[in-house]
Amino acid sequence: MTDFPEIWSYLSRGPLLWLTATLAAYTLGDACFRAANRAPIINPVLIAVALLAVMLHFSATPYATYFEGAQFVHFLLGPATICLALPLSDNLPRVRKAALPLLAALLAGSLTAVVSALAIAKALGVTGEVLASLAPKSTTAPVAIGISQAIGGS
């Protein structure tokens, strides 16, 4: 019979492990969210990220290894972002009517998000590459990743 370290070594090299772990963590987070009557504080994405961080830490798995296995989810972020345009397109007359307040709110919210993230990180002693990675954090993931890489983040 094979022992657990050998089984783990075999499984951790396969790309499906981390994809499955990502989907399972989100499913668990979503179940918690629903059980809590959709309370905003019980965010399924936050729960999934926390679970995955704990799994990566205790399995001593580098993030690069995780990302290699879960890159399919990363690939789907682009098309998912594009799908957000459909409801906007369907409601274009309403969006046009509210354009000025929307633009003002988006500008204020975006500036507040960037400035507060950078100020908090700077106060905590974060420098360089991490600050560059935090700057675009309030955009959608595919856009944030591109901006982060362009300004020297990772």
- How many of the other CB atoms lie within 10 Å of CB of 52? 21
pLDDT for 114 equals: 83
- Structure-token pair, residue 113: 């998000």
Output the tens digit of pLDDT for each of the chain's 154 residues: 467 677 667 666 677 888 889 999 999 999 999 999 999 999 999 999 999 999 999 988 888 888 888 888 878 877 887 888 888 888 999 999 999 999 999 889 888 988 898 899 989 998 888 887 777 776 666 566 677 677 776 5
Q: Is residue 39 part of a domain?
A: yes
Q: Is residue 23 part of a domain?
A: yes
Contact present, 7 and 55 (Cβ < 8 Å): no
Q: What residue type is 90 in one-letter code?
A: D
Q: Is residue 92 part of a domain?
A: no
Whether residue 1 sits in one domain with residue 74: yes
In eight-state DSSP terms, residue 42 is: S
Whether residue 10 sits in one domain with residue 58: yes
Q: Is residue 18 part of a domain?
A: yes
Whether residue 124 sits in one domain with residue 78: no
CA distance 7 to 122: 43
Looking at 35, 50, 83, the residue that finishes a domain is 83
For 10, the domain range is 1-83
pLDDT for 88 equals: 84
Whether residue 66 sits in one domain with residue 8: yes
Looking at 83, 115, 146, the residue that finishes a domain is 83
Looking at 39, 58, 83, the residue that finishes a domain is 83
Q: Which candidate, 103, 119, 104, 117, places its Cα nearest to that of 148? A: 117
pLDDT for 140 equals: 63
Whether residue 77 sits in one domain with residue 32: yes
Contact present, 94 and 118 (Cβ < 8 Å): no
Q: Is residue 140 part of a domain?
A: yes
Whether residue 60 sits in one domain with residue 1: yes
